[in-house]
């Protein structure tokens, strides 16, 4: 049976809507009383795995799920060996460099060499500062990255921004946008190529804007 990895969090509701539009109902995952992480659609056609966004590419890469939905931000950070099939056009956000609004910096290049930059996206932050040839000390954090500049631990942060409300509430200011991110449809490369479980048809339907806007 086809298995699909779905991301907990911000992308879940719309991800479920996209599969619902093509006849695969994983809405049981939205039920707050649900504790199951593995369910089968009522029509018995597919199985869903509810996992952390960062784990979606892992389940797909190892072939435990043939399809998955995950943000481009996670894909860039994890560099998993998966096929990126479609930009699903939802979950818009951006990866940005931000500093205290009261700081004198107006671009990332203004940051002092060897300053500290806090981020959950260590690889992405390192790649960016390498690309502008500015040596910085990346401080890896798991959450609440905005505390970096507030406590004085770091001069800047690299973090995902969607509405900008968190930055505003913490008196932070965006300096640069590294890239824009949206939800992506990914597949296990071999399953995709051998078209196991009629994967190609499903992917075609998920890609079709007519269907996905139902």
**8 Å CB contact between 170 and 103:** no
CB of 196 to a second copy, least distance (A): 16
Count other C-beta atoms under 10 Å from residue 133's C-beta. Answer: 8
- Tokens describing residue 18: 């996209």
| DSSP E strand boundaries for 14-72 | 38-40, 46-51, 67-71
* Interface with a second copy in residues 151-210 (CB under 8 A): 151-153
CB of 203 to a second copy, least distance (A): 21
- Closer residue to a second copy in complex, CB, 44/143: 143
DSSP state letters, 82-148: -EEEEE---S-EEEEEEEETTSS-SSGGGSPTT-EEEES-HHHHHHHHHHTT---EEEE-SS-TTHH
144 binds a second copy, rule: CB under 8 A: yes
Q: Which of 1, 30, 37, 132 binds a second copy (CB under 8 A)?
A: 37
59 binds a second copy, rule: CB under 8 A: yes
- Closer residue to a second copy in complex, CB, 184/188: 188
CB of 23 to a second copy, least distance (A): 23
* Interface with a second copy in residues 105-124 (CB under 8 A): 116
Question: Judged by CB under 8 A, which stretch of 24-32, 57-65, 97-105, 201-209 contacts a second copy?
Answer: 57-65
Q: Which of 13, 34, 38, 208 binds a second copy (CB under 8 A)?
A: 38
CB of 210 to a second copy, least distance (A): 33
Helices (H) and strands (E) in the chain, counts: 9, 11
Cα 19–8–18 angle (5° rounding)?
Answer: 15
Residue (of 123, 167, 129, 175) closest to 148 by Cα position: 167
Count of residues near a second copy by CB under 8 A: 26
Residue found by looking up tokens 């390498």 in the block: 130
- What is d(CA 98, CA 94) in angstroms, rounded to the nearest whole number? 12
- What is d(CA 197, CA 70) in angstroms, rounded to the nearest whole number? 21
Question: Judged by CB under 8 A, which stretch of 26-34, 46-54, 105-113, 195-203 contacts a second copy?
Answer: 46-54
1 binds a second copy, rule: CB under 8 A: no
CB of 186 to a second copy, least distance (A): 16
**Binding residues vs a second copy (CB under 8 A):** 3, 8, 37-38, 49-52, 54-55, 58-59, 62, 64, 116, 139-144, 147, 150-153
């Amino acid at each position: 049976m086809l298995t699909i990895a779905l991301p907990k969090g911000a992308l879940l509701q719309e991800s479920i809507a996209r599969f619902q539009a093509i006849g695969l109902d994983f809405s049981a995952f939205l039920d707050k009383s649900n504790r199951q992480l593995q369910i089968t659609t009522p029509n018995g056609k597919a199985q869903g795995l509810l996992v952390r966004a960062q784990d979606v590419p892992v389940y797909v890469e190892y072939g435990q799920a043939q399809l998955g939905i995950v943000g481009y931000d996670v894909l860039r950070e994890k560099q998993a060996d998966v096929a990126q099939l479609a930009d699903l056009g939802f979950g818009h956000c951006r990866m940005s460099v931000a500093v205290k609004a009261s700081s004198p910096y107006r671009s990332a290049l203004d940051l002092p060499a060897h300053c500290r930059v806090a981020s959950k996206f260590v690889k992405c932050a390192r790649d960016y500062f390498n690309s502008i040839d500015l040596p910085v000390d990346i401080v890896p954090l798991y959450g609440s990255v905005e505390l970096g500049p507030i406590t004085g631990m770091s001069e800047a942060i690299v973090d995902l921004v969607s509405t900008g409300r968190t930055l505003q509430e913490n008196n932070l200011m965006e300096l640069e946008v590294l890239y824009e991110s949206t939800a992506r449809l990914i597949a296990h490369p071999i399953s995709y190529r051998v078209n196991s479980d009629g994967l190609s048809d499903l992917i075609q339907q998920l890609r079709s804007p007519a269907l996905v806007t139902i």
